[in-house]
Amino acid sequence: MTTVPALFSLLRELCALRVLCVKSFSSVSRVAVPILLAVFIATAAPAPQSSAPRSFLGFDRNIYPGDDALPILRKTFSFASYWLSPPPGEKTNTWSGKREALRSQGFGFLVLFRGPQIGELQKIWSESRFNRDRLQAQAEKRGTSDASLAAAAAKKEGFPSHIVIFLDIEEGGRLPAVYHVYLHAWVDRLVWAGYRAGAYCSGMPISEGRGVTIITADDIRHNIGSRDLIYWVYNDACPPSPGCTFPQDPPTPSKSGSGYATVWQFAQSPRRKEFTAHCPAKYAPDGNCYAPNDPAHKWFLDLNAATSADPSGGAK
């Protein structure tokens, strides 16, 4: 049935039922038909589909690349890492005092603080296994102290309150109980200081034998309780990682294998051969990943995709 005859039919029925009674059906139809036709078209038109979530490309590295590198890297990346402590394996922090240099170039931030190695906490836990209350207190004290240091460093660097500070947890697999005690204290103290807590951790399955696997990020989520924690996961295995590549439309963090992640580190420098052998995009001959505007290979990088151009909220 075509639209206009159907509308005339509707008007006749309304008149017959005395719902719409007029002296001249033809005169009122000249007014009613356009109105009903517009309503019909509006209701029949398909609703616009929502666009897919956008993802943003960023880099991280332990050593500050230098002021001259920033405008070059900004051509490719929306955000950069920013250490509040010396990175793993380093005694000094070369990022200190560089927030404004990055901010002036339009970079967003991934703010980081180095967490302890499992062995540092596990050693304390196992040395006096008959006094768990005291050991738990020591782990809580370390977590509280580290969070206070992170908050003080963020304030010193000029970051606003309520930014997300990610605790750098390098080791994968199931975390021991003492690490969860430490992490709980870290989160609680950071929130108390006016910041939000995040964790950089493995998003890769690790075999525990007999067909059982564990992902560190899942282990943390299972033990964190009601605390709010933002997840930055690393998974450089191909697939799901696209390898050392710089797409204008980066993969969403949910494709990392951890659907709740807001940041996904999908490439590392140097590459880990056991995970990257099947990557579609190749790394440089020296095994590192370099930005397309860095032909001299001055700055090897880790690559990240995030749901925000400023994952920590530090550019404000």
Q: What is the mean pLDDT of each run of 10 residues along the chain (316 residues)?
A: 47 45 45 44 48 88 97 98 97 98 98 93 61 79 97 98 97 93 97 98 95 96 97 97 94 96 97 90 91 95 98 96
Q: For residue 310, with 0-12 CB atoms within 10 Å meaning exposed, 13-18 middle and 19 or more buried, which class applies? A: buried
- pTM, whole model, 2 decimals? 0.82
Pairwise CA distance, residues 228 & 225, whole Å: 9
Q: For residue 66, with 0-12 CB atoms within 10 Å meaning exposed, 13-18 middle and 19 or more buried, which class applies? A: middle
Query: pLDDT value at position 249?
Result: 93
For the chain, where do the domains classified as CATH 3.20.20.80 start and end?
56-306
Query: pLDDT value at position 138?
Result: 87
CATH of 56-306, one of 3.20.20.80, 1.20.1260.10, 3.90.1170.10, 3.40.190.10: 3.20.20.80
- Rounded to the nearest 5°, which phi and psi values hold at 72? -70, -45
Q: How many CB atoms lie within 10 A of CB 7?
A: 19
Query: pLDDT value at position 284?
Result: 93
Pairwise CA distance, residues 150 & 287, whole Å: 32
CA-nearest of 255, 248, 258 to 220 is: 258
Query: pLDDT value at position 298?
Result: 95
Q: At what angle do helices 216-223 and 177-192 cross, to 10 degrees?
A: 70
Q: 119 vs 138, 176, 178, CA distance in Å? A: 14, 10, 10
Q: Mind spelling out the 3-state secondary structure of the chain?
A: CCHHHHHHHHHHHHHHCCCCCCCCHHHHHHHHHHHHHHHHHHHHCCCCCCCCCCCEEEEECCCCCCHHHHHHHHCCCCEEEEECCCCCCCCCCCCCCCHHHHHHCCCEEEEEEECCCHHHHHHHHHHCCCCHHHHHHHHHHHHHHHHHHHHHHHHHCCCCCCCEEEEECCCCCCCCHHHHHHHHHHHHHHHHCCCEEEEEEECCCEEEECCEEECHHHHHHHHCCCCCCEEEEECCCCCCCCECCCCCCCCCHHHHCCCCCCEEEEECCCCCHHHHCCCCECCCCCCCCECCCCCCCCCECEEEEECCCCCCCCCC
Query: pLDDT value at position 13?
Result: 53
CA-nearest of 168, 303, 285 to 236 is: 303
Query: pLDDT value at position 20?
Result: 38
Query: pLDDT value at position 17?
Result: 43
